[in-house]
Amino acid sequence: MITQEEVIKKLKQCIDPELGINIVDLGLIYAVNIEGSRVNVLMTVTTSGCPMGSFFIKDITDKVRALKGVSAVLVELTFDPPWNPSKMSQDSKELLGFIN
């Protein structure tokens, strides 16, 4: 049985190449739902014109599909609600200079 914790651990291995921070700590992951052997990930990117969307979808799919018991991964991109810096982890905000 696949757990949410296992999926999140894999998602933390997906690094934004421009910022060097994982997509979970950047606040780009909105939901992870597991239905049997299928994993559904709802995510966003920082702006609607962000060119990294397809990169993240492939990276997420490859990494999560490598988990034992996963037969399919569906990554859905959404802009509702829009991303903003408040969604980032404290460590990410500090690293990027949003807080002192």
What CATH number does residue 23 fall under?
3.30.300.130
Domains in the chain: how many in total?
1
What is residue 100's predicted lDDT score, i.e. its pLDDT? 61
Backbone angles phi, psi at 86, to 5 degrees: -65, -15
Domain assignment present for residue 100? The answer is no
What is residue 49's predicted lDDT score, i.e. its pLDDT? 86
Average pLDDT for consecutive 10-residue bins of the chain (100 residues)? Answer: 96 95 97 98 92 94 97 96 94 86
Domain membership of residue 35 as a residue range = 4-95
| Of residues 79, 95, 87, 80, the one with CA closest to residue 20 | 95
Domain assignment present for residue 47? The answer is yes
Contacts 24+ apart (CB under 8 A), 82-86: 82/44, 83/27, 83/28, 83/44, 83/45, 83/46, 83/47, 85/27, 86/27
